[in-house]
Amino acid sequence: MTVLITGGAGYIGAHVLAALEARGDTAVVVDDLTTGTPEKVGATPHFNFDISTTGAADALADIMQALEVTSVIHFAAKKQVGESVARPAWYYQQNMGGLANVLEAMQRADVKSLVFSSSAAVYGLGTGSDEPIREDDVKNPINPYGQTKLAGEWLVQAAAKAAGISAVSLRYFNVAGAGSDELADRFALNLVPMIFEKLAEGKSPLVFGDDYPTPDGTCVRDYVHVVDLADAHLAVLDAIAAGEPVSAEYNVGRGEGYSVFDVLDAVRRASGQQFEADVAPRRPGDPALLVADASRIKDELGWTARYSLDDMVTSAWSGFERNGAPVKA
């Protein structure tokens, strides 16, 4: 297959690119390099433009036709919750505009297979229960970022139906780890790199609240290794290519929860450093617990996560040691 990867120079996109090329598939990347890095694309054909702009649908359709693209994986989007609260219109313009252009181009170029990067952010605060969250549970995104992902899923389904596209939205839970030092996340936007950022500054990592109704009082999340997440994309593409039935949405997580204190302990193990953490006030909008029920993707596509929390943190730490401190976007 020949796969167009939008956002292929980014953290998750580059892992999927590496996984596809490792097994002999052909890939082409479209990435405007605002947060992506060209080294991650290597020798793969790369087109550098913003897919949300007017005219991008034509450019995307031309690439799809010229390179005989058979599938699209659409990552390119803005993903910072706080920034989305500050600039909601821009988030809708970027994320919905980019997606609309991708779908428009797929219809023009007659490309029939799509994987869309969605997020656990579509669930908002979750159900409030301790039970793992299921795909059909209530979706109530609490910030514009999550709204663009949920509205994006709706647009994907509507456009897929209209154009006869097989489309799947993958709802990523908390992605961490690295497939190699070169592919490690360079941005301090999530817990693991934010811990590293503090350690690099000689400061104590922050814990946003230790008075949640969880076993140790800190928030519980479902951390999934980026290499496992990349494999989930391949499993979807393969199922579509084989003509197997697929669901419109899948959770991608381990189905296991770890607290912020658990992650800090994993960093202590990976780094060999003993450090204290500072408890800060709760961060607004954080659910106490958000863990995936990952049974649908296992039952239907045979995908399960292979890597542990220690694998994630150890590989991320190795990337940090090689690349230096992660940066703010």
Catalytic residue set: 145
CB of 146 to ligand WQD, least distance (A): 6
Q: Which is nearer to ligand WQD, 229 or 301 (CB)?
A: 229
The CA distance from 77 to 113, in Å, is 19
By beta-carbon distance, which residue lies closest to ligand WQD?
219
Q: Which is nearer to ligand WQD, 95 or 190 (CB)?
A: 190
CB of 258 to ligand WQD, least distance (A): 10
CB of 11 to ligand WQD, least distance (A): 9
Give, in degrees to the nearest 5, the angle at Cα 162 between 117 and 119: 15
CB of 17 to ligand WQD, least distance (A): 18
44 φ, ψ (degrees, to nearest 5)? -65, 140
CB of 304 to ligand WQD, least distance (A): 21
DSSP state of 57: H
Residues that bind ligand WQD (CB under 6 A): 79, 81, 119, 121, 174, 190-191, 194, 206-208, 219, 221, 260, 283, 286
Q: Which is nearer to ligand WQD, 68 or 216 (CB)?
A: 216
Q: Which is nearer to ligand WQD, 33 or 206 (CB)?
A: 206
The CA distance from 278 to 202, in Å, is 13
Tell me how far CA of residue 52 lies from CA of 90, 96, 144, in angstroms: 10, 8, 17
Other CB atoms closer than 10 Å to residue 126's CB: what's the count? 19
Q: Which is nearer to ligand WQD, 26 or 308 (CB)?
A: 308
The CA distance from 316 to 193, in Å, is 8
HSE, CB side, 13 Å, CA atoms: give it for residue 310: 4
| 286 within 8 A of 162, measured Cβ to Cβ | no
Other CB atoms closer than 10 Å to residue 179's CB: what's the count? 21
Give, in degrees to the nearest 5, the angle at Cα 321 between 325 and 290: 70
**Residue 300 identity:** E
CB of 101 to ligand WQD, least distance (A): 21
Q: Which is nearer to ligand WQD, 121 or 226 (CB)?
A: 121
Three-state SS at 302? coil
